[in-house]
Amino acid sequence: MASTIGMVLLMMIMVSLTSLASALSVNYYEHTCPQVESIVAGAVHKATMNDKTVPSALLRMHFHDCFVRGKNKAEKDGPPNISLHAFYVIDNAKKALEAVCPGVVSCADILALAARDAVTLSGGPNWEVPKGRKDGIISKATETRQLPAPTFNISQLQQSFSQRGLSLQDLVALSGGHTLGFAHCSSFQNRIHKFSPKQAVDPSLNPSFASNLQSKCHIKNKVKNSGSPLDSTATYFDNAYYKLLLQGKSILSSDQALLTHPTTKALVSKYAHSQMEFERAFVKSMIKMSSITNGGKQIRLQCNLVR
């Protein structure tokens, strides 16, 4: 999943971001649209068969959607979202659902299900997704500033997550989503070129790994979309992200920041040594994150338009 993270928090959304877990239910569509899970899973599977980057894109899209208020054209134009893709998967699933149960399933629920299916298709865990979200009525590109940035330190990350009711454990578990995906050079140039007045490269980086990143992202390199996979198994959901982090082979500053706090460092080590512990924590944190309300009040008929 390319950076789940954007610019420094300058302002808060004018709605309260509180948990609505008690209002959600895994059986929410049992009578109104029982085909919802199979239809969404089919759309994700079909897209993934044609493009192996779809799972990471859907997971990243879900992270971004939970941290701000929606996913229509205005929000998609925000700088941290420019590189997002695979919106068509959500649109295709929505179109199929509208054909069998019109006006019933929210785009927010489709995205939550698609993110789960993306993880499962990539070899990760499966889980029951609580459903019943409504879609937001506001979507602004400016609100993408509230996404945590790839240059954030641990204090900034902790503040960003805690303002949404997410703990340090949630931060470390959800950062494990970086086991999928790709980061563009712009997301980590700060670590490999002119890191400080006295050091060209971030000293926390493994030297050979840093050299490899520099070769991919030479400062004069104008190749579009150049960058690096976020870990060594970028299309497979595993705990390699944490293992590489402990070896000085993390991509983003915000990844490295997890080793600068005793609580988060201990969790990184725990998940590096146990895939099962990582998956258990990831599922718990995903359910918690996806249960944050965005003030939604509608069921969009098209996911790219505010009705």
Output DSSP code: residue 228. E
Domains of the chain: 21-146 (1.10.520.10), 154-286 (1.10.420.10)
Catalytic residue from among 62, 64, 178, 261: 64
In this predicted structure, what is the pLDDT of residue 8? 25
Q: Cα–Cα distance between 129 and 126 in angstroms, integer?
A: 9
Q: Which residue reads 């070896």 in tokens?
A: 247
The model scores a pTM over 0.95? no
Q: Cα–Cα distance between 177 and 56 in angstroms, integer?
A: 8
Degrees (nearest 5) of the Cα angle 256, 48, 88?
Answer: 95
64 among known catalytic residues = yes
Residue 74: pLDDT over 60 = no
Q: Cα–Cα distance between 62 and 52 in angstroms, integer?
A: 17
The sign of the torsion formed by the CA atoms of 184, 57, 173, 153 equals positive
In this predicted structure, what is the pLDDT of residue 115? 96
* 11-25, 115-129, 188-202: least confidently modelled range: 11-25
* 36-50, 100-114, 144-158, 239-253: least confidently modelled range: 144-158
In this predicted structure, what is the pLDDT of residue 23? 81
Helix, strand, coil percentages (3-state) for the chain, rounded to 5, are 50, 5, 45
Name the pLDDT band for 148 (thresholds 50, 70, 90): confident
CA proximity to 41, closest of 117, 124, 130 = 117
For the chain, the average pLDDT equals: 84
Q: Which residue reads 């199979």 in tokens?
A: 38
Span 224-265, pLDDT tens digits = 668 999 999 999 999 999 999 999 999 999 999 999 999 999
Helix or strand holding residue 227 (H, E): strand 227-229
CB 93 within 8 A of CB 46: no
> Comparing 254 with 65, which gets the higher pLDDT?
254
Residue 194: pLDDT over 80 = yes
Q: Cα–Cα distance between 280 and 4 in angstroms, integer?
A: 20
Token readout for 38 is 């199979």
